Structure 1
């Protein structure tokens, strides 16, 4: 009887040993499950981080840029309101602007909620990231609206950092574009739209852009931004020509195109 019990114990031990050493047994299965669990947690963490990055890029940078642009806009209008009177009714503009200097405001009804955009000198990210439209300084120096001829070329972000030109693709031939300075409203009309071109195509901001249909020097405006939406692969351009100018009155009554 004792021998049989000893035999049963030895057999159970051998079976237990085989189960513990079985390559397809619980130990290996536990390791695979643990690896899958870790991988799942890593993927979830990556997804959360990616979501936070997208939220930061497309939402929070807009919030910060809107605050900066509003502050700069109020400061410029305050300067216009409190500038010393000279009795001279002729337009007065600085002879030159430094990078970051405020020039005026761009009004584009077709842009919708972002129809009024502060204009500053320069197109570097330090300027454009403040939720403004920047004036090109190279490779072609933009001509100011009050100059006798030239192309007033501007750029702005399409996504993030204010996204002032997010809806630039809404512009069509005949749409009004108005530039407001301290003394004058400059009213332009859209003449042509280039939906897509290479980011190296600097000719779109030339004094007489070839693809615009313009054939001789004039008083033009160019608006540029990235395309397609949410990418910076290509550029799009909108060209317009000056239709008329309207002196700013005491109430700063906007021209009919903005009313």
Structure 2
């Protein structure tokens, strides 16, 4: 009798634990994703509403402005308001519908609402290294397909006034979380040797872990006013 009771108790315990594990997986995969997607959509809508009230530029170039290599003044690292969205990122390689808000900071709460701009790195389009982090999995899986990025891919951002088109210069590189030099103004492992207008994207690796980081780098290829329409790489 005692044995039967023990077996029944253990069986019920296993069923309970299994049910809790399933609920946890559903929470991680589904619920956090729904909340994150809603939060990111909200950030983008707030940005678009604020941009709609901005004065329209009266003078604008007729063609995209290619950024010259000689444009190398001191790095521009004036911070954006902490925890606030200031731009939207588009990566055609990750899908025509893929677009995410970029917020200032890389804290836990910030990364639940979008991508995070590393503190003390360059401003969007500025001289130095504009560095951005994002979750690989959970909270909307913004960088789930990060390993698909390739040399020559475009990463396009807008702050409501200007389109900034960066071109990726190498496929994702695997490193450890303590390798903070990947967001230096001139990240050595990127292959860059002189100051410029660079982009760094980072995410966790492996897909469901955080023991390592995936990193990719790019340079600012061109800019153009929003009034001139979307960059060619986003058309069609």
TM normalised by structure 1 equals 0.80
Matched, 1:134 2:116: yes
Matched, 1:99 2:76: no
Decide whether the 8 Å contact of 1:109 with 1:115 is kept in 2.
Answer: yes
Per-residue CA shift, 1:205-229, capped at 9, x if unaligned?
1111111111111101011000110
Per-residue CA shift, 1:137-174, capped at 9, x if unaligned?
0xxx1101232x11100001111111111111110111
| 2:122 aligned residue | 143
Decide whether the 8 Å contact of 1:192 with 1:238 is kept in 2.
Answer: yes
Alignment of 1:21-170 (within 5 A): 30-84=1-55, 96-112=79-95, 115-130=98-113, 132-137=114-119, 141-147=120-126, 149-170=127-148
Q: Runs in 1 of length 4+ with deviation above 6 angstroms?
A: none
Whole-angstrom distance in 1 between the partners of 2:188 and 2:56: 43
Q: Which has the higher contact order (CA 8 A, sep 6+)?
A: 2
Greater share of helix: 1
> Gaps (5+ residues) in structure 2?
62-77
SS at 2:95 equivalent: helix
Matched, 1:211 2:194: no
Decide whether the 8 Å contact of 1:169 with 1:195 is kept in 2.
Answer: no
| 1:258 aligned residue | 234
The higher radius of gyration belongs to 1
Decide whether the 8 Å contact of 1:159 with 1:230 is kept in 2.
Answer: yes
Give aligned pairs, total.
219
TM normalised by structure 2 equals 0.87
Cα RMSD of the aligned pairs, angstroms, is 1.8
Whole-angstrom distance in 2 between the partners of 1:86 and 1:225: 36
> Gaps (5+ residues) in structure 1?
1-29
| 2:65 aligned residue | none
Whole-angstrom distance in 1 between the partners of 2:232 and 2:116: 25
Decide whether the 8 Å contact of 2:134 with 2:142 is kept in 1.
Answer: yes
Decide whether the 8 Å contact of 2:165 with 2:221 is kept in 1.
Answer: yes
